[in-house]
Amino acid sequence: MEIIIKPVLTEKMTMLTEKLNKVAFVVAIGANKLEIKKAVESMYGVNVLAVNTQRYQGKAKSRHTKAGAISGRTNSFKKAIITLSEGDSIDFFSNI
C-alpha cells in the first residue's frame, strides 16, 4: 500500500515550514499515524516528532456549458501535517 501520495506545496504550508518546521502530505485514506511516520522517516531520512491528520470530504461542484449544467464531486482525501525535529528538513525542489 502506497502511504504517501504527494506533498502539499501551498503558501500556507511554506510559511509553516519556515516558522514551525512542519511539512504536509496527501496520504492514503486508510493510513494511520504510525504508518505515516514510518513512511516519511524511511523515504526522506528525517526524524518525525508528531503527525497530525485531517480528513477532507469531496465537494459538490457544477459548471454550466453549452450542453447544460454538469454536476460532479471532487475527491475525498486525507492530509497529514508532519512536525520534523530541530535541524531536519525536506527539500522538495532539490532534484529540479
- The domain that holds 50 is classified in CATH as 3.30.70.330
The whole-number pLDDT of residue 1 equals: 54
pLDDT for the residue 5 = 95
Q: What range does the domain containing 66 cover?
A: 4-84
* pTM for the whole structure: 0.85
Between CA 71 and CA 51 the distance in angstroms is 35
Grid cell for residue 28: 492514503
**Residue 44 in domain:** yes
pLDDT tens sequence for the chain (96 residues): 599 999 999 999 999 999 999 999 999 999 999 999 999 999 999 999 999 999 999 999 999 999 999 999 999 999 999 999 999 989 888 777
pLDDT at 93: 80
Q: Indicate the number of domains in the chain.
A: 1
Residue 91 lies in a domain: no
State how beta strands 60-65 and 68-73 pair. Answer: antiparallel
Q: Read out DSSP for 12-74?
A: HHHHHHHHH-EEEEEE-TT--HHHHHHHHHHHH---EEEEEEEEEPPPEEEEEETTEEEEEEP
**Rounded distance, CA 33 to CA 80, Å?**
8
